[in-house]
Amino acid sequence: MDRERTLVLIKPDAVERNLVGPIIKHFEKNGIFVRAIKMTKLSIDKAKSLYAEHEGKPFYSDLLKYITSGPIVAVIIEGSDSVKRVRSLIGNTNPEEAEDGTIRRLYAISKQKNSVHASDSPNSAAKELDCIFNTRLAV
């Protein structure tokens, strides 16, 4: 597959614990490239846009509260089949079920405070990249 771009968010719990460098290094040592990076604090409106597919689910309001609770680091990742590869590197949403060596197994505190978000498809990546970086990027 051609190079594609995807979004990774390093969430407030990981930023607070100074894990930005180790998380980015995890991607880089696996041949995935950082193309843009910024630290920001999500507004409630951006968070609602980012997590719109979860609206109405029991955890939705807690998710919004958490993701807007502190700064995040947004990263545009690029590489061959990057969406699939990044999802594999971050591991299961529940860190207790994540494979050894994955980012969530290494750094997550809980299922909610799981340190990273990553787009789950090329279509989601395009939408999420636009939401966070305010630009349409080819993925």
Closest CA to 78 of 6, 16, 2, 1: 6
For residue 14 the two structure tokens come to 């990981």
Would you name the residues annotated as active-site residues? 117
Dihedral sign, Cα of residue 114, residue 120, residue 122, residue 127: negative
Please give the Cα distance from 22 to 27 (Å, whole number): 9
